[in-house]
Structure 1
Amino acid sequence: MALTLALLFLSQALLYTTVTSASVCGRPRIPEGVDVSTMKRVFEIGEEVTLTCEQGYLPSSLTTTRITCTSTGQWTQSNLACSPKMCPIPKQLQPFALGRTEAPFRSALNFSCDDGYVLIGANASHCLHNSSWSHPPPICKAVSCPLPNPPRDGRVVHVRPVTGTKTIYGQEWTYECNPPKAPSHEKGFCNADGSTTEPPVCREVSCSIPTNIPNGFITFAVMRPHGYKEKVKYACNEHYTLEGQAEMQCQNTGNWSSKPVCRAPCTVDIKRGRIFYNARKIWIEDLKPNRVLHGEIVVFYCLDREEKCGYPVSSTCNDGTLPIPLCFEEPGKAVYNLKPKSLPSEIRMCAASPPARTTNSN
């Protein structure tokens, strides 16, 4: 449930009358908030006017401000300023008011509710001259719907317990049919317009004979067409990783849900070097067998030539492919065999790794 708020700030234009004759003065230029209800349009020379703030505005000082019509047809200066009174925005509405905690006199709060909710109360409120609002904030009440009808040869299963003869917007339920039939649609809702989802049609459906998946197999199934909600379970060949749901289910459309996929393992395609794998730092020749599973991470070591230190770069096995970082340099036989302690994996580690580098797919 949510209440939407809009603030409309109204301003009063400057009111004045221009008179060309120097023997009289026209209506003075009046700033916003000054009371003009009793002010004439033309004044004689020497005539005085007492300026006051109109209802809903506060004067800048407590002293009375008087101005006089001079012989030049101009008015003497006034330092009166009238500022609008403020109405505090109700706390429950402040999150919608863009940081404002109050609004000036004559502002309006306009209210609306999200789809699926009915506004109870006034849809607008105005800031009055006494710093109060004309109407309290309304309430957004969820639309109610009649309880759903069950399908022929089936029933309704509510997600939440229901009492009485109505349900409210946002609630949902599922439809079930007597086996072996399936509903034409499985879910129902109380809609935003107060209507209820029409019950489905119960009909018999059949899914085709299940088939195997590459690098995997069906663990147990009778090779025949399957009915609604019947399941088939898959597994992968050794060292392959199953991705997705292991079980495939016959749906109400007569189609199977998505099959899982068997992702291939990877080999670490270097001849010399040290890696970090499975929480261990190992030489590549000690990785026996040379195999990492799909999704597993292998860390290689690169050299920062400027700082003369080593830094780790990770790579992830993705369905048989393990990219080798571009910064990794495989050492020659002599260095690898005679000076292994000079390799990036063995020297001082850098305090911070250089900017990320792409990897090279070999």
Structure 2
Amino acid sequence: MAGRLRATWNWRPQQVVLRIAQLLYLSALISELLSQKEVAAWTYHYSTKPYTWNSSRHFCQRFYTDLVAIQNQGEIAYLNDAMPYYSQYYWIGIRKVGGKWTWVGTNKTLTAEAENWADHEPNNKKNNQDCVEIYIKSPSAPGQWNDEPCWRKKRALCYSASCQDTSCSKQGECVETIGNYTCSCHPGFYGPECEYVRECGRPEPPERVLMSCSHPLGSFAFHSRCSFRCTDGHTLDGPRELECLASGAWTSEPPRCVATPCPPLRPPERGHMSCLQAAEAPSHQPSCSFSCEEGSVLVGPELVQCTASGAWTASAPACEAVECKPLESPVHGSMDCSPSPREFQYNTTCSFRCAEGFELSGADTVRCADAGQWTAPAPLCQALRCQDLPAPNKAQMNCVHPLGAFRYQSTCRFACAEGSVLVGASELQCLATGSWSSPPPECRAVTCTPLLSPQNGTMACAKPLGDSSYKSTCQFTCDEGFSLSGPERLDCAPSGHWTGSPPTCEAIRCPALPAPERGLLDCSDTRGEFGVGTTCRFSCHRGFQLQGPPTVQCTASGRWTAPLPTCEAGAAPARTPEVRCPALVTPGQGTMSCRHQLVTFGLNTTCHFGCKAGFTLRGEGAIRCGPSGQWTAAAPACRAVQCSALYTVEPVLMNCSNPWGNFSYGSTCTFQCPEGQSLNGSRTTVCQPSGQWSAAMPTCQAGPLTVQEALTYFGGAVASTTGLVMGGTLLALLRRRFRQKDDGKNPLNPHSHLGTYGVFTNAAFDPSS
């Protein structure tokens, strides 16, 4: 027994201190474990409102940890029994990522062993069903999974992790379980909380071996490293470094030191070496001198000596080939080097060429000399130059010079001032030959074809620019009895053409007149053309009296001076007073032109109406004063052109001004969004004369998610060694409403009471608020 005690206490002082520290730590750990009555539970939670999959995950991450990540069948049975039934079911933390079903919380691919799909699932519809729901209390498939489109709305099934950053001493993976967690220790660590580290023990190096160690996790423990070197005159035989592995063993045995001579030297490539033994050398130490061949330069010392420690005073030098600075092909050119196109060593020769449209500026061939310099600088490729182009008279010239002024690929475009026309090419290019693609163009004055007066009419022209016919304006009128067929005015346009075809004067004719029933017709126009000035007389058969004027005449307006009379039986009617219709006024935003026959607004007076831009005529364009003293129709009115009605979509706000009526010509509508939202589109739109709005309706960008209300429930369950036995009920204990603060802070703070397996809290928020 005494021998054993002496053997036990035959430790080094460092080992004694280390063992005492380990025992004290173990004692404190056991005391802490004995005083710990309850381990933090993995808790489950759900929302009372349905959301899309993305909004559900946002909900879970905001208030808890994430959408639930299911570990095993026991957890599935627990959730199916503890969660309340909901017809649309619950989202869980699985979705398709890169074509594979993935747990989003851990970014791990779903394994075949962990799958719990319902029959004929997943992807039975083959239509973008990328998110997964769980059938809670489903009559046919309780607790099983189904893939659904992510935009559908379901309740969010969340969890709060019991694992913390400090769990497992940060030296292992914390594995969640229902109501507990376990630690899967990283290699090199062990213990319930991975609090212990594997030890390898101190290595004992041989004689003449010097050791230096680092201990990041404890003396001679896992990840400790020891490096070794020898005293002067000795060489290390074995590894230079040992590492303590996770298994508690060193990577190998410690090395040893052996005495060695200087290692043999070899002459450098492309060089020579000459060595002297100790008896031959002036310093009585072996030495070697070095030199290089032509085209190479010595890198290192010319002479090295072997020291008493068995090492050379320096490493053997090398002969490196003389190299010149790398050359690159000139822009818009090419380079060809020999013997090597990449290394640019001594005697390398490079020749240069330019692409089409470019010429070489500099030497066409250079060589790498023995001093490591090229015989000439690298040349450049410059674009060929075309002759400078002066701007033609009365013309505008706009040039683009990508490679220099008036050089290859330069492009010049020409345009003439108003009243002139371009003769020649409108665009010239500087070609690869150094010449322009076409001769320069010129500008000539615009000339329209001379016009002649129409037959039976006259023409009056104005020439504001003198002899040039550009901007000339010609007005046409017809003689009495003739009307103009075509435009009343023609202008000489910048294109050298008149704005239309010359008009003609055609004879004005009145409508053909039939003889009155039981009467006769006699007209001065024997050919029956009823031209202007034609006079027709009416008479009745015996026994009938003429009702109406006995004579009518064709006027220059193409109308008869009176309506067609009739022949009636009986005595002739008494002479009637002069006929006059009510006076007319020009409609608002319109025009009126009247032709009076005998008196103002008298019998057969005809009035024509029109409207200004942005307004349309409502009614007849022309009305006539009849024999009854009434107009053939009511006077028309000009109404503003109507645009389509605008309807806003919340939250866009609209304010309109309507000078001529709601959503009519001239109406201007402005838009704005509530505070915190931005307007996408034009802020103003105007109803134009064409009946179209000047801009489309804008929209408002939606604001951030806010919490609207939260409901908290509590529940619990118990477990046995053979499985999970569900118990307890969900009690609605608290309902509170919260409103989002203006500063964006969320006052929601649901409190939980820990049960054996966890807390069930459902809190709803509106992602669109």
Q: Place the TM-score, normalised by the shorter chain, in its bin.
A: 0.3 to 0.5
TM-score by length of 1: 0.40
The structure whose Rg is larger is 2
Greater relative contact order (CA < 8 Å, ≥ 6 in sequence): 1
